Amino acid sequence: MIRTNQNFITYTEMLKKNGQYEIDSHVFKPKTTVLRQDKRYGDVYLIKEGIAKCYITDENGREFIQEFLGEGMEFGELEVFSEKLTICSVTSITDLKVYSFSHKTYRALLAEDSTFNHLVMKALADKIRYKAPRHSFQHSYPIEDNILRLQSLFPQLTEILPKKDIANYIGVTTRSLNRALKGLKSKQESLK
Write out the residues near DNA by the rule CB under 7 A.
142-144, 162-164, 171-176, 178-182
Is the CB of 35 or the CB of 166 nearer to DNA? 166
Is the CB of 84 or the CB of 185 nearer to a second copy? 84
**Is 24 a binder of a second copy (CB under 8 A)?**
no
Backbone φ and ψ for 68, nearest 5 degrees, come out as: -100, 130
Task: Choose, by CB under 8 A, the member of 127, 151, 154, 174 that binds a second copy.
Answer: 127
Sheet of strand 33-35, all strands in order from the earlier edge strand to the far edge: 2-3, 63-69, 52-57, 89-92, 33-35
The interface with a second copy within residues 89-118 (CB under 8 A) comprises: 110-111, 114, 117-118
Is the CB of 22 or the CB of 112 nearer to a second copy? 112
Distance between CA atoms of residues 38 and 121, nearest Å: 24
Nearest-approach distance from CB 136 to a second copy, in angstroms: 4
Nearest-approach distance from CB 62 to a second copy, in angstroms: 5
**Is 39 a binder of a second copy (CB under 8 A)?**
no
Nearest-approach distance from CB 125 to DNA, in angstroms: 30
Of 132, 138, 133, 124, nearest in space to 169 by CA: 138
Ramachandran sector of residue 113 (left: φ over 0; alpha: ψ -120 to 50; beta: rest): beta
Is the CB of 99 or the CB of 116 nearer to a second copy? 116
Is the CB of 42 or the CB of 155 nearer to DNA? 155
Distance between CA atoms of residues 46 and 75, nearest Å: 7
Nearest-approach distance from CB 20 to a second copy, in angstroms: 20
CB atoms within 10 A of CB 103: 16
- The DSSP annotation for 133-148 comes to HHHHHHHHS-HHHHHH
- Rule CB under 8 A: which residues touch a second copy? 56, 58, 60, 62, 64, 66, 77-78, 80-82, 84, 87-88, 110-111, 114, 117-118, 120-122, 124-129, 131-133, 135-137, 139-140, 171
